[in-house]
Every structure is written in C-alpha cells, then in structure tokens.
Amino acid sequence: MAGYPALVKVRTLAKFAVLSSALLAAALLLAATIRTLTLDVSAGLHIAKWEKIVYVPSDISGPQREHLLANLKAAIQIPTVSFSDYEQNVTALEEFGRLLRRAFPTVFSSSRVRYEVVSNYSHLFWVPGSDPSLEPYMLLAHIDVVPAFEADGWDAPPFSGREVDGFIYGRGTIDNKQSVMGILQALEFLLERGYAPRRGFYIGLGHDEEINGHFGAANIVKLLQSRGVSLAFVLDEGSAILDGVIHGLESPVAMIAVTEKGMASVKLSVTTLPGHSSMPPAETSIGILASAVTRLEKNPLPLLFGHGPERDMFEHLAHKWALVVSFLFLGFGLHEFPLKFVMSNLWLFGPLLVRVMQRRPDSNALVRTTTAVTKFNAGVKINVMPPYAEAFVNLRIHPAQTVEEVLELIRLTVNDERVKIELDRGFDPLPVSSFDDKSFGYQIVKKTLLDMFPQISVAPGVCVGNTDSRHYNSLTKDIYRFTPTWFKPGDEKRFHGVNERISMRNYEEIVHFYFQLFQNCDTRKLPESHSAQHDL
C-alpha cells in the first residue's frame, strides 16, 4: 500500500497534464477561429471613397483594335536578341527604334512628350504634369529578348508574330514587348483624345535587361540622377495574374512583387597535379569538386519563411482558399481544416505550410535562397588526370539574406580547404517596398486592377528573377514588379521557353490597364483607409 499515494499522485499529474493540454488546444483553437473570422488585410482602400477623376473614354474601335494587334506583331517580328553579355543584335535594336516612331506617331510628335535615346538603343520619355507639386512616377519595360529557335518545337516560328487560335506567338509576347507596346499604345490613345496628365511620369525602355541592364537601365538612372529626379514609385515587369496556378485558390490572383531576390554566381574550383590515368590518386579534382557540389545540393540553405513578404502574401489571400487540408494537430490526431483557417493563422500553422512548400521547386523558391549548379567543366584528355575542375553555382537570394551571408554558408557547407570558393558576380536582394494602405503606388496599381477585374484577388509577392528595376533603387523607395499578363497552369514554362504566346484579348487588356493607370495616377492623395474609419 506504500506505493498507492505515489500512484494517485502520478494519476493526478497525468490528468492535470491532459487537462492543461486540452485547455491549451482549446485556447489556441479559439484564438485561431477569431483571427480567421476577423482577419481582413486585403480590403484596403478599394471600398474607400476615392478622389473623383474625369476619365478619358477608353473605348477601342474595330480598326484601332486591328492596329494595336498589328503593332505588337510587328514588334515580335524584330529579333532584338541579347545573346550574351557582349553580343546583341544591334541591327534589330535600331530597327525597333524606327518601329516605335511609326507605330506611335502622336507620342513622338506631341509637344507634351520629351523623348531621348540613351546608350544608343534605350528610350526615355518624360511627360510633365500640370501640377509640379506632385511627385512623378515611372513605368519600365525592356525591348530585348532571349534567343529562340524554331527547331526546339515551336508551334509557330518564334519571330513570326503569327496568330494561332486567338493567341499571338513569338519571343517577347510575355517578356516583355507586351509591356513596351502596351504602355506606348495606351499613351498614344490618351494623347489622341486630348489627355493632359496632372502628375508627371517617365517611361524607360531598356535594351539590355536580359544581360543585366548595365548599359540601358543603369545609364537611364545615371541621367535621371544628374537631373535630381526622385520618383513616387516605379512599376516594372516581374509578376502577373495567376489563374489556377496556385492550387486551392477560389479566384485568380494578381501578385504584385514588392521585392526581388538577389543573385550570386559562385565559382568552385579544385587544382591538383596532372598525371597518367593508369596511376590515379585516391581522389581526382573532379571527384573532390563533385563531392563539394553534392554537399551543396543535399544541404539546402535555411528556410526563411516569414522573414520576407511571403507570409503577407498568404495572409492577403487567406479568405480566398477553397480546399481543406489534413494534418496532425498538436499531437492529438489527424484533423481536417479549411485552408482559410490555416492561412489566417500562420503564427500557428506556418511551420507546417513551409514543410509543404519546400517540396515543390516553384514554392520552395519563395521560402529560401535556392542553389542551382549550372556549369561543370573539367578534363583535358581521356587518359590524363584532370589538373583542374570548376563548377558554377547560381543562387537566388531570399530578401532576408545578403550575398556575404550566403557565401559564408557555402563555405561552411563545402567544408573542404581544397575547394576554392570565389564570388563571380552578385548583388543583394532589393529592399521590400511598402504595400499598406498608405502606399501610393501599390494602392493605385491595386485599384486599377480591381476596377478592371473585380473577380481577382490582389496580394504582395516576391519576384524570384531579376529585372531592370533593381537599378532604380536610388530614385525611389517603392518599386513594384507586375504586368497584367494572365498565366494559366503550364504558361510559366513558356517564359524563356518554347511557344511563348499571349492571347489577343489579354494584350488589349494590357493596353486598357495602362490607359487607366495613367489616369489613376493623377490622384493627388490616397483616401482614408476603410480600417482607419472604423478604429473608433
């Protein structure tokens, strides 16, 4: 009987532990339910009372529609290819400049527009506003494209601009001549109809974005800096309207990228003594380097979900999820929860979401710095021990890290003094631009989108590639990357790939988007947010 009190004590403690765990689970569930019902980060200013603007009519006649489509096709037919850092089709770039003058005669002849060529092939437009107290903004696009070859399996020649089943095929249709031509076409229509902007704006068309923009965008920025220009915001390419691409969302989503990942190209090399292959050492330069590369691939860089805007992206879309998800909840068994519940409570379910995201290459790119071994060179002859081996690793750096931090992590992972590690080139991620209710550029783009497409959702996102906009960081604190190009499942493979195309309807929508955006930017100031009106 001596052990009976101890047994009672153990049972009491066990009951207390179970009861405490149940109460904790209930409290967490209650808090999560309340947050699910009250979280509303996406309503923003769309339901607020905006300043009234008298819009120029946006109707497009049949002949105008044929003309704008013909202009885009003509742009696609000019092979403005950037082959490498030092090789471009400059003849095509010159021809493209002549096309712009033919396609948009009002833009080039209007007394309202000031135009100049930068670095021989880039184009800069300045349209002063009637109210000089309003800070100007800038729209960006680029006219160069990556190479394309019909033999790769195109349904239409890549520089034909051919029309197939309602789509225009060709290199540049979604990267990025739809923006180049769409912006200028919208301005052409506005000027023809007597539009005079209240807020001034710039348009910058770079000619070498695909090879880092060091001559086009970089020199446009230097020119604007020399004139003391500062910008309210910059809008470039870099994201799109995703329709069915994100599994489980009830509606299409316009992802406005508020930052872009950094980039580092890192060279790994090993040098050993040469010799005859009949008397090999225990490890060759190739073997040593292969082991280092394998360690990098098997040990991805740390997960950083929540340290960039990716968490905000999911919270903005929290009430748009339709599916349910099953998982182990607090160790008490398998439960099924609506994704709305999960996405509204990333403070609780974030670690589980990350475990799912890192399994797919596209979502994994949002939550960490990615590592890709892209080149491996070694060997001089089949019977000679390779004296030298090198590999290049391309890293796309998460907004929460820097180039130096990533380099140190690579050194720690490789952990082999025989492997020389050098930074070939790189740059840090761009700062995260604002996207709250006081963010002029973000809210103007959002309003324009929702006025056009009331069925979509709008959320901040991350551009996993790199754009010309990174050069403009010194001119503004707010840079956004978005074009209203519709992407459906599989379309992401067309980007820099085979059968790049755009629907004729979507291109007309792009022209209309910029037509409305120019006018919405004439807003003097944003209205008071809906949430602020209900703080009392």
- Binding-site residues, in ranges, read 142, 175, 210, 236, 496
- DSSP codes, 88-120: E-HHHHHHHHHHHHHH-HHHHH-TT-EEEEETT
Catalytic residue among 59, 85, 116, 144: 144
* Active-site residue identified among 188, 208, 209, 500: 209
Output the six-digit token pair for 39: 């979280």
The pair of structure tokens assigned to 19 is 């009861």
Quick one: which of 141, 265, 125 has its CA closest to 208? 141
Residues 6 or more apart from 211 whose CB is under 8 A from it?
82, 84, 85, 88, 144
Residue where the block lists tokens 């890293």: 395
**Helix residue ranges, H only, 77-203:** 90-103, 105-109, 177-192
What is residue 213's three-state secondary structure? Answer: coil
Kindly report the backbone phi and psi dihedral angles of residue 249, in degrees, each rounded to the nearest multiple of 5, phi listed first: -75, 140
Rounded distance, CA 342 to CA 324, Å? 9
Binding residues for Zn(2+): 142, 175, 210, 236, 496
Rounded CA-CA distance 90/121 in Å is: 8
CB half-sphere exposure, 287, CA atoms < 13 A: 7
Decide if 144 is catalytic.
Answer: yes
Residues 464, 39, 359: CA angle, nearest 5 degrees: 35
Three-class DSSP category at 284: coil
Neighbours of 12 (CB within 10 A): 10
| Location of structure tokens 């974030």 | 350
Known catalytic residues are: 144, 209
